[in-house]
Structure 1
Amino acid sequence: MKELFMNIRIRDIIDILIVAFAFYKLFMLIRETRAEQLIKGILVLFIATKVSEWLELYTVYWILDKTMTVGVIAILIVFQPELRRGLEYIGRSRFFTKSFVEIEDESLNKIMDEIVDAVASLARQKIGALIVMERETGLNEVVETGTKIEGKVSSGLLINIFIPNTPLHDGAVIIKEDTVKAAGCFLPLTENASLSKELGTRHRAALGISERSDCIAIVVSEETGAISVAENGSLSRYLDVKTLKQILMDMYKYKDQKQIFLLKWRHKDEQGKEQ
């Protein structure tokens, strides 16, 4: 045992740390998703295959062995959303992307005020709304499903879009930096089966798009006027206007004297409010 430790080199330690870090990141990506349950099922099949081989149950072993062989292709199909999410996570790293935008402090405050004022007004009137704020992951494929606006962010524009019985009120608005890119957009719904039954289509769409990108989605409930925010597959509900403003401002962190703000907000709701 002593000789084993004596033969360990620095590069071996680095190798182990890299593998451990990779497995940790993989676990964080699949945690509390359907992929976690699928991996458990694969492990059960693998153990059953080895046990049947050890017990010389040749027919059972042949079936399980062939299932595992074909299962490699099946894994690529079943895990497609998780694989896409993982590759997007790698692509969003600072090494590959610009993680900042240049926005003047005064302009930033104005944009956030316009969005918060619109959400507050919609909440008071109990008008349903779904606003998606693009960050590093592009949402052009979502923009193409709606009607392009290409207008400056303003509370009046956002309120008018969501007025009931207007052509664009029933979809999502996509905002990129200080521009309303499109309205009436269709979003993918979340596949999380553990969500509360009281959550409607808007909340499920907000969660769906937040699971597939690093965007932030703001939801106003049509029934209660409650304000919610979805980010990274988590939903924070019953927010007040002050908290919403702080969340949006925290998306942009001051970086240097050139007034560059870093897009890096990560909002985690308390576990009790996710239901």
Structure 2
Amino acid sequence: ALIVVFQPEIRKFLLMIGSTNFGKKGSLFKPFKFLKTETINETDVDAIIMACNKMGSTKTGALIVLERNNSLDFLTNTGDLMNIKVTQPIIESIFFKNSPLHDGAIIIENNIVKATRVILPVSNDTNLPQRFGLRHRAAVGVTERTDALAIVVSEETGQVAYFKDGEFIMFNDTQELAEIIKKDLG
């Protein structure tokens, strides 16, 4: 019965243990800062947020997943593999409505777009707000199953949403959002 009750937590723990990045990025030793072997995450959060703001103003839908300690290779293989440095114009062009790459999510690791058109697991949580569409459900799903972070731009409202650990994270403005993401990536 315990396995059924704690299935999501057990899955997340096993993903962390089985991750190719486990230990390498110092996740085991995070409480001991002097033992930290982790390199500083170089993801250009400001470029991502500026792109999200611009896409929001044109109601261009987007789903951006930021990889942290857990490897997301099992997800990148569902999309088109890339190796593109993150910039505001790159993100905007990927999600442009007529772009062949705009469907699905993009996965970013350490300022590199690793994959586009990625198919993400969708959350089965029945308590999600009605205003959350499929992109939001996918953001909840990927952050429930891994330690990744997800940013969604709603195609209907143009609003930017942020998800971590399967939860919608509130913020006042995009400057605050950028600071939250930088802290979460650090």
| TM-score (ref. length: structure 2) | 0.83
Give the structure 1 partner of residue 136 of structure 2.
203
Give the structure 1 partner of residue 39 of structure 2.
101
Give the structure 2 partner of residue 227 of structure 1.
160
8 Å CA contact 1:226, 1:239 repeated in 2:
no
Shift of 1:250: 1.1
Residue in structure 2 matching 1:84, options 11, 14, 18 = 11
Shift of 1:236: 2.3
Residue in structure 1 matching 2:54, options 116, 121, 124 = 121
Give unpaired runs (5+ residues) of structure 1. 1-37, 40-74, 253-262, 264-275
Give the structure 2 partner of residue 153 of structure 1.
86
Q: 1:249 to 1:79 in 2, by over 3 A?
A: closer
- Which structure is higher in helix share? 1
2:88 partner amino acid: S
Please, what is the CA RMSD of the aligned residues? 2.5
Counterpart-to-counterpart distance in 1, 2:16 and 2:67: 15
| TM-score (ref. length: structure 1) | 0.57
Higher mean C-alpha deviation, range 121-130 or range 233-242: 233-242
Counterpart-to-counterpart distance in 2, 1:145 and 1:116: 25
Shift of 1:112: 1.9
8 Å CA contact 2:8, 2:144 repeated in 1:
no
Query: Is 1:187 the equivalent of 2:107?
Result: no
Q: 1:90 to 1:145 in 2, by over 3 A?
A: closer
8 Å CA contact 2:83, 2:113 repeated in 1:
yes
8 Å CA contact 2:122, 2:138 repeated in 1:
yes
1:120-140 deviations in Å (ceiling 9; x for gaps): 111111110000000000000
How many percent of aligned residue pairs carry the same amino acid? 39
Give unpaired runs (5+ residues) of structure 2. 27-37
Counterpart-to-counterpart distance in 2, 1:153 and 1:197: 32
Give the structure 2 partner of residue 9 of structure 1.
none
Counterpart-to-counterpart distance in 1, 2:182 and 2:40: 14
Q: How does 1:1-275 map to 2 (within 5 A)?
A: 80-89=7-16, 96-99=23-26, 100-102=38-40, 108=42, 111-236=44-169, 240-252=173-185, 263=186
Secondary structure of 2:39's partner? strand
1:87 partner amino acid: L
Q: 1:89 to 1:141 in 2, by over 3 A?
A: closer
1:247-269 deviations in Å (ceiling 9; x for gaps): 122135xxxxxxxxxx3xxxxxx
